[in-house]
Structure 1
Amino acid sequence: MTRPAYTEALVHSGVLTHLAAFDPHVAGTPPLGLDLPDSDIDILCHAPDPQAFASAVWEACRDLPGFAMWQWQGSDRPVIARFHCAGWVLELFGQACPVAEQLGWRHFAIERRLLALGGETFRAAVMARRQAGAKTEPAFAQVLGLAGDPYAALLTLEQLDDDTLRARIGA
């Protein structure tokens, strides 16, 4: 059985509407076209008041299948929630800093840019690594030959211009 498009799960859940006050942004592998059967949908939110965010999430999502919510202990204590909808797992991540500054969004933005610049050959190479078991950032790092921590290494590419990135990709 195939699951519906991730966009259907977003519409069916209503989460983007319910959490509009927290500037929700969809990230992760489905919008990149790199999802696997067990991929989830990541929704990053700006939650300067974790309690207000948790209350809004509870109100909007508590009755959805598999709902769970927790708060990290370290750093700025982001709130995370997961639930199932329309064949997908959705994961909400509410952090005090604006979405554009969150590491998850920054990774998503550079990955989206690399895929746009690299074309289908690059996408296929990343997807092959994903299908072999690599998580998203390590798959990109492997294809690009980036050494060290793949999460940190990808962020070193953010400020490079498109021509430099194309050369790095080999496109």
Structure 2
Amino acid sequence: MIDFTRIDYLKNGNERQKRAYEVLSKHRIFEKLKDYSPILAGTVPIEIDIEGSDLDIIFEVDLRFEEDFLDDLMLSRFIPYDVDVEHPVVNGERCITLNFILEGFPIEIFGQNKPTTEQNAYLHMLAEHKILQEKGEKFKQKIIELKKQGIKTEPAFGMLMDLENPYEDLLKL
């Protein structure tokens, strides 16, 4: 099983994964976020990304200290880019997202006051990876085709697996 808590596996992946590794490493993104337990989640790690897919980096942050967190990132020169900072509410919990473009990659950095290995983005990715391993290349290509049609990842899995609520059902797998 791939250790998705580190990004080393990207070095031996497909061309987009290798490029993602190069960009993330060059800009020391994970090094700058190391105090926040970052994990690359989403479609790129499990090779179901399409053109325009972003790099989803999740992290753990106590938003009571959000100002300290943002100051920390500014001081580390993490935010020399044009960054959009938002505060969505996910499952009743306030979060923070930072969105920017880095060498052609859309980047979304998503933080919750929850360990990254317990966040839904990570758990969904693990479940999706397991399903892809079990169901094979044909299934993977069907997921990619649905994504190219504009269908989000979890709903695409839901459609192909007859899941009533894919966001919840994937967490049970």
Q: Normalising to structure 1: TM-score of the pair?
A: 0.80
CA contact (8 A) 1:9 1:87 kept: no
Q: What's the counterpart of residue 45 of structure 2?
A: 31
Partner of 1:55: 71
Q: Secondary structure at the match of 1:119?
A: helix
- 2:129 aligned partner: 112
Aligned residue number for residue 67 of structure 1: 83
Cα drift, residue 125 of structure 1: 1.8
1:9 aligns with 2:26: no
CA contact (8 A) 2:32 2:78 kept: no
Instruction: Report how many aligned residue pairs link the two structures.
Output: 154
Gaps in structure 2 of 5+ consecutive residues: 1-14
User: What SS does structure 2 have at the residue aligned with 1:91?
Assistant: strand
Which region of structure 1 is more displaced relative to structure 2, 25-34 or 54-63?
A: 54-63
Could you tell me the TM-score, scaled by structure 2's length? 0.79
Residue 158 of structure 2 is matched in structure 1 by 141
Match of 1:88 among 101, 105, 108: 105
Matching of residue 152 in structure 1 with residue 168 in structure 2 = yes
Q: Which runs of 4+ in 1 moved over 4 A?
A: none
Q: Could you tell me which residue of structure 2 aligns to residue 125 of structure 1?
A: 142
Per the TM alignment, residue 131 of structure 1 is displaced from its structure 2 partner at its CA by 1.7
Any idea what the Cα deviations from partners look like across 1:94-125, whole Å, max 9, x if unmatched?
11110111111111111111112222122112
Does the 8 Å contact 1:61/1:67 carry over to 2? no
Structure 2 match to 1:166: none
